Amino acid sequence: MSTSNGYTYADHLPADFSDSALRADVRLGLTASSKWLPPKWFYDKVGSELFEDITRLPEYYPTRTERAILTRHADEIVRAAGADTLIELGSGSSDKTRLLLDALTRLPGDPSYVALDVSEDALRSACASLVATYPALQVGALRADFTHQLDLLPRGDSRTVAFLGSTIGNFEPAERERFLESLRAGLGEHDTFLLGADLVKSKQILLPAYDDAAGVTAAFNLNVLDVLNHRLGADFDRSAFEHVAVWDDRNSWIEMRLRARRDVVVQLPDLDLQVGIGQGESIHTEISAKFRRDSLTAELTAAGFVERGWWTDGREWFSLSLWAPA
């Protein structure tokens, strides 16, 4: 662990983590009978900028709706949690988190915040900004992968672990179950879990949020092919693919895909791999699951949690919920 610019920094990932993980994911996903790529590879510099653009689109309600809930209820949430340490999983820019930090720093005591992310650049940028904004806040950066390194969360007597933005909706159900069970195993009796989750609503609202009229989400989805071209020497032709978003009513999730407009043969020389993709065949790039309160409660209860609070907007489009070990 090192200290610089007013915050601590601990790195628990190998130097080649991103490259080796990308190679493994691409080889596994593009050689599967139903091809797929994990959504985490969307977020290179261009992809991150495109996602920020998406959050400002009129069709894309999740970010502004979650922010509105936090704006209205952050003080209540922080009081209900009763913690002096906030740990955020997949912290990114830590932007919306500032609403919770505002509430936390209004309380007496010595509050602290730990941002966990796989991106060193995002962590350092966010934490340097937070130190400047909250001089009384102890700030830490933890470079780790929350899908399998939850045991590295810093210890404390009273912690709130926050998982915002409905990122949990990107997990397949079995992955979600493992994640929740692993998180619960590491929480103590005075700890809490703050979860942001998007709620089921009309597909007339859902689909435009993932297939906007301006084509920003399409550009975001297609950008993952540029990531593979740049980092793995692949020769994907973006024009050979189209962005597709569909609502799966049975699973209550949006699926994003890249569908081939024609037969394609892609070379990935860095993997010594050639991949054929037939016209009409899709590469599955993301699910975004939507939840109902009863089903979400059932999942958290099965993982060993009990509800301590539930907050939503007036239209009940998005939720923030607080959970404690049962």
52-78: pLDDT as tens digits: 999 999 999 999 999 999 999 999 999
In this predicted structure, what is the pLDDT of residue 59? 98
In this predicted structure, what is the pLDDT of residue 93? 86
Instruction: Tally the domains of the chain.
Output: 2
90 and 173 share a domain? yes
Residues of the chain scoring pLDDT < 70 = 1
126 and 258 share a domain? no
Domain assignment present for residue 88? The answer is yes
Tens of pLDDT, residues 199-250 = 999 999 999 999 999 999 999 999 999 999 999 999 999 999 999 999 999 9
Eight-state DSSP code of residue 90: T
Domain assignment present for residue 150? The answer is yes
217 and 173 share a domain? no
126 and 155 share a domain? yes
CATH code where residue 171 lies: 3.40.50.150
Where in 120-236 does DSSP place strands (E)? 138-143, 159-163, 192-198
CA distance linking residue 34 with residue 11, whole number of Å:
35
Domain assignment present for residue 47? The answer is yes
148 and 188 share a domain? yes
174 and 220 share a domain? no
77 and 218 share a domain? no
CB count, 10 Å around CB of 144? Answer: 20
Domain assignment present for residue 6? The answer is no
Burial of 62 (0-12, 13-18, 19+ CB in 10 A): buried
CB count, 10 Å around CB of 186? Answer: 15
185 and 116 share a domain? yes
CA distance linking residue 119 with residue 142, whole number of Å:
10
Domain assignment present for residue 24? The answer is no
In this predicted structure, what is the pLDDT of residue 244? 98
Domain range enclosing 309:
61-201+290-325
120 and 192 share a domain? yes
Tens of pLDDT, residues 1-14 = 677 779 999 999 99
Domain assignment present for residue 191? The answer is yes
262 and 314 share a domain? no
pTM of the model: 0.95
66 and 213 share a domain? no
Domain assignment present for residue 214? The answer is yes
In this predicted structure, what is the pLDDT of residue 167? 96
176 and 317 share a domain? yes
Domain assignment present for residue 29? The answer is no
In this predicted structure, what is the pLDDT of residue 56? 96
Q: Which residues of 194-229 are buried (b: 16+ CB within 10 A; e: fewer)?
A: bbbbbbbeeeeebebbbbbeeebbbbbbbbbbbbbb
